[in-house]
Structure 1
C-alpha cells in the first residue's frame, strides 16, 4: 500500500542590513521555505521504500532510503531554468530492478576497490566477492547501495533532511563485525547538499563510506568535457591496469592530474588518454577539518558546484565505462556524460601500510562529512 506524507517547514531569517540597525519600522525579512515531501513508492524485501523531495525554494533534492540514494538534484542555471544535474533513472522504484553503475548510491561497507578481493586483519584473511575483475568493488554483490535503510525525517531552522540507519551484520559480504551505520542527507537554506556518515562496530573491521552521485552541470544535454575543474589537491595515487593503487603517492606537478588552477576537463582527459578514475589527495592524514576540495564550473549554464570534505581523498571518476545507457527522461548516457567526486579514504588502503588506515575498532566512531554547495554565476 502506498502512502503519502507532505511536511512543510518555514524559516524566516532577518536580512543582514535590516537586523543590524535599530528602527521603528518593520524590519525586512527574507522567507525561505524548507519543505519535505515523502511518498512510499514500493516495498523491497518486506520493507517500505520511500521517495523524499527536499526543497528550499531555490533547489530540490530527491532522495530514497533504498540504497541511501540521491536520485535527482534540481538546480537553476543563470537564467533561472531548473534542470536535474544528476545521472539517474526515471523513478526511484526503477532502482530496485534495473542495474545501473551506482547512480547516486551510498557505497559501502567499503567503497572503491580492494585488490584480489581479500584483506588480512589481525592474522585472519577475509575473502570478499570479486565484483570488478579479480577485485572487490563498492561493498560487494549486495552492498549498502542495495539495502533498505530505516528512515526518519528531521528539520530545524536551516536544514531539512532524512536520517537513515542500517545494521550490517557480522559476515555480511565477507566483512567482520556488526556495523551500525547512520546516514544523514540534508538540504540547507544556502543551497548545500550535506551528507554525513557515522558508524560503530562490535568487532575490528574496515569501513570506507561515500556517495556515488554522477553530476552533469549542463543538465544531461551532452558530455561533461566542457566543464571547468579546480582541485585543491597536491598529490594523487597512481593505479595499475586494474585501477588498483600501486602504493605510490605522487605530486601532481607536470601531470594531467594538476587541476590546482582551473582546467577544462576535455583538455586534461586528452592528456590522460581515457579519462580519470583516480584518488586525488587533499590530506595525508585523517582529521575532522573540512576542506574545500573541488570547484566545478559550467560556463554555458553558469552553474557552479563547490565540494567540501573532511576526508583524505576524493575518487575523481569521469564515467569512462558508461556506454549507450538508457537514462531518465529518454536520454541516453554515454562515455564522459557525468563525473563523480567520491569523498573517501584512499582505495585499497587496507593493503597499503603507507595509506591512511580504514580500520575501525570497537569503542571508536567512524565519522565522515561531505558538502556539495550549488551556486550560479551571472
Structure 2
C-alpha cells in the first residue's frame, strides 16, 4: 500500500465536458481518485480510460497509459492504417474471427469484415466507438463508475440485443478493478476486454526496457494473418517464454493461455513502478504498439510509435467459436456474462 507522503484532499466527483461527437452527442470525462493520490480518468466514448496516474513520494505523478487530449483524436484514430483502440472497451468480440463467420445453433452467422476478410475487435463500428450511458457516477465514498451500452440485435450482424455494463473501481490498495457483465435477448457471441496501453515510465516513453512476466506455459499458434490454427505452442525455451522477467519485446501480438488467475506483471527499473494483472479470463493477449503514424498527436503532443506501450488484453481465445476445443464464448439467452480484471500498482519510491 502507498504511504501517505503527499497532501491529500477527500476524493470528490470530477466530471468535465470532453467534447461533442459529429452527431452532437455529449462526451464527459470522470476522474476517480484514492487517498494515496492515484488517479484514473474515464470518458463515456468507448468507456475509454484516458489517464492513469501513479504518484511517488514527492507527489509527482506518472501517467502510465497512452491516450489523446481531445475527443476528435479518439474518433479520428479509428481511421488510422491500424486503429490503436487506445484505452477503449472492445466488443462484442475482442480479437480476430476467421472469415468473419461462425456457426451458432446450426446456422452460419456472417459478420462484418474489417480486417481483410476477417473481423477484429467487434467490427467496423464496435463498442470502442459507441457513446456509453453512465449509470453510476463516482462519489466521495465510492470511487467507482459504471457505464452501460445496449447493442442492438444484428449490430455488426451479431444476433441478440446485448446489454453490456463495465464498472471501473479505484481501490485504496491502488488497484483498478474492471468488472464486465452482459445479457442478451438471444444466443450470441461475447468476448470483452479493456485495451489500455501501459508504459510505466510515462506515456511519452519507449516500452523496450521494462520487464515482463506472463504466467503461461503455452500460447496459441497462429497463421501469418494471426488467426489461431487451433494448436498450442509450448513456451519452454521459446523466445516468448516470460515465466521469468524478460525485457519487453519490440514486436508481439500473441495470445497466452493462463495457468491461473495471475496473468502478468510489468516492472520499470527507472520509475520503480510495478503493475500486476489478475483476471478470471482464460487468456491474455499481449500486444506492443500504440503507433499513430505521425498523423495524430498523443497527450501532451506525444508522438506515439510502434513501441509506445504494451496491452494486456485479458479475454477468451480469439476465433473461439471456430474451434470446438477452445473455451466457450457463446452467451445463451438471458444468461449472465461476467469478467473481472484487476490492475494493481506498486511504487518502490513511496
Tell me if TM exceeds 0.5: yes
Structure 1 residues 158 and 191: alpha-carbon distance in aligned structure 2, compared to 1, 3 A threshold: farther
Output the CA distance in 1 between the equivalents of 2:290 and 2:88.
18
Q: Which structure has the greater CA radius of gyration?
A: 1
Question: Map of 1:102-181 to 2, 5 A cutoff?
Answer: 102-154=85-137, 159-181=142-164
Change in 2 beyond 3 A, CA 1:42/1:331: closer
**Residues 1:377 and 2:348 aligned together:** yes
Q: Select 1:38's aligned residue among 9, 12, 15.
A: 15
Distance 1:211 1:244, change over 3 A: same
- Say whether residues 1:264 and 2:247 are aligned partners: yes
Alignment match, 2:321: 350
Q: Distance in 2 between matches of 1:133 and 1:375?
A: 41
Deviations 1:151-185 (A, max 9, x none): 03345787411111111111001100111111111
Relative to structure 1, the CA distance from residue 93 to residue 188 in structure 2 (aligned partners, 3 Å threshold; closer, same or farther) is farther
Map of 2:26 onto structure 1 = 48
Count of equivalent residues: 337
**Residue 90 of structure 1: how far off its partner (Å):** 1.4
- Which of 86, 91, 101 lines up with 2:84 in the alignment? 101
Q: Which position in structure 1 is the counterpart of 2:203? A: 220
- Kept after mapping to 2: 8 A contact 1:78/1:377: no
Preserved CA contact (<8 Å) 2:213 2:243: yes
Give the aligned partner of residue 296 of structure 1.
Answer: 266
- Aligned to 1:94, the other structure's residue is in SS state helix
More moved, 103-112 vs 119-128: 119-128
Larger relative contact order (CA 8 Å, sep ≥ 6):
2
Alignment of structure 1 residues 236-255 onto 2, 5 Å? 236-255=219-238
Q: CA deviation at 1:97?
A: 4.2
Report SS of the residue matched to 2:334.
coil
CA RMSD after TM alignment: 2.2
Counterpart position of 1:279: 255
- The offset of 1:296, in angstroms, is 0.6
C-alpha deviation, 1:91, in angstroms:
2.6
Deviation at 1:124, TM superposition (A): 1.6
- For 2:163 and 2:290, how far apart are their aligned partners in 1? 33
For structure 2, list consecutive stretches of 5 or more residues without a partner in the other structure: none
CA contact (8 A) 1:130 1:140 kept: yes
Which region of structure 1 is more displaced relative to structure 2, 249-258 or 347-356?
249-258
Alpha-carbon separation, structure 1, partners of 2:71 and 2:173 = 26
2: CA distance between counterparts of 1:155 and 1:70? 15
From 189, 196, 206, the counterpart of 2:179? 196
Q: Is 2:214 the counterpart of 1:234? A: no
Gaps of 5+ in 1: 1-14, 16-29, 270-274, 284-289
Partner in structure 2 of residue 75 of structure 1: 54
Work out whether residues 187 and 194 of structure 1, in 8 Å CA contact, stay in contact via their aligned partners in 2.
yes
Q: Give the match for residue 301 of structure 2.
A: 330
For the residue of structure 1 that corresponds to 2:343, the secondary structure is strand
Compute the TM-score of the two structures, normalised by the length of structure 1. Answer: 0.84
Q: Is the 8 A contact 1:163 1:182 kept in 2?
A: yes
Q: Distance in 1 between matches of 2:27 and 2:139?
A: 24
TM-score, length-scaled by structure 2? 0.90
